[in-house]
Amino acid sequence: MSVTTTNTPEVSNNSTPVSPAVNSVVEEYPGFEIDAMHADLKVIDDVDNILDLQESQYPKFTLAKNKARFLRMLAWYKNKETWLDVAPLSGVSKTFKQQSKELESIRANKLDYEMELETGTLTPSQRSYRCDELKMCKVHEKMAVHLISKMQLKIKSGRR
Mean pLDDT, to the nearest integer, of 52-78?
90
Domain membership flag for residue 146: yes
Alpha-carbon distance of 141 to 74, in angstroms, equals 12
Domain range enclosing 111:
10-158
pLDDT of residue 157: 86
Domain membership flag for residue 2: no
Domain membership flag for residue 1: no
Phi then psi dihedrals of residue 25, to 5 deg: -70, -35
Straight-line distance from the first to the last Cα atom of the chain, in angstroms, rounded to the nearest whole number: 43
Domain membership flag for residue 140: yes
Domain membership flag for residue 4: no
User: Based on the structure, what is the number of domains in the chain?
Assistant: 1
Alpha-carbon distance of 139 to 141, in angstroms, equals 5
Domain membership flag for residue 5: no
Domain membership flag for residue 137: yes
Domain membership flag for residue 3: no
Handedness of CA 100, 41, 56, 48 (dihedral sign): positive
Confidence band for 51, pLDDT divided at 50, 70 and 90: confident
Confidence band for 17, pLDDT divided at 50, 70 and 90: very low
Q: In this model, does residue 45 exceed pLDDT 90?
A: no
